[in-house]
Amino acid sequence: MSDNKQENAAEHPVLAEFLSTVKPEQVLWALQDKDSEDWVVLASVNFEETDVMPVWSTEQLAGQHCIDEWQDYQPAQISVSDWLEFWIEDLNEDGIIIGVNWPVEGDCLELELADFSQAIAAIEDLA
């Protein structure tokens, strides 16, 4: 059942576009506070009592969100290998899900950490 769930997640157009953009450079982007170095994590728009970490496939997409309450943040890159090695455990402990290419407006694709990370692992360049 897990394999079908992963295939369904990977077939989502937002995730598919995200993965195809991330694969060549092997980096994804999140927002980090310029001073405290904290990362943007916010309440999920789709699930009650759940926190979500938005990530983007490009610095430009991430940068569009550095306004209003996030004006003190800047896009920061996370390598695919660092994501897989360091990020999963911490985010899992905190029960955080992932917002993929979080839009300025409109519906947000939010994925379970395991589903997102499996998709990321599938594009990791081990060369």
Inter-residue contact 59 to 110 (CB < 8 Å):
no
Q: How confident is the model at residue 125 (pLDDT cuts 50, 70, 90)?
A: confident
* Residue 13 token pair: 């157009």
Task: For residues 104-118, give the mean pLDDT.
Answer: 93
Q: Can you tell me the distance from the alpha carbon of 17 to that of 86, in angstroms, rounded to the nearest whole number?
A: 24
**Mean model confidence pLDDT for the chain:** 90
User: In terms of pLDDT, which residue wins out, 44 or 2?
Assistant: 44
Predicted pLDDT at 8 = 55
* Per-residue model confidence as pLDDT tens digits over 33-83: 999 999 999 999 889 999 999 999 999 999 999 999 999 999 999 999 999
pLDDT > 60? residue 6:
no
What 39-48 contacts at long range (C-beta under 8 Å, 24+ apart), as own/partner pairs, is: 39/76, 40/65, 40/70, 40/73, 41/94, 41/96, 44/97, 44/99, 44/110, 45/108, 45/110, 46/108, 46/110, 47/97, 47/110
pTM over 0.85: yes
Q: Can you tell me the distance from the alpha carbon of 41 to that of 31, in angstroms, rounded to the nearest whole number?
A: 9
Q: How confident is the model at residue 5 (pLDDT cuts 50, 70, 90)?
A: very low
Predicted pLDDT at 107 = 85
pLDDT > 50? residue 2:
no
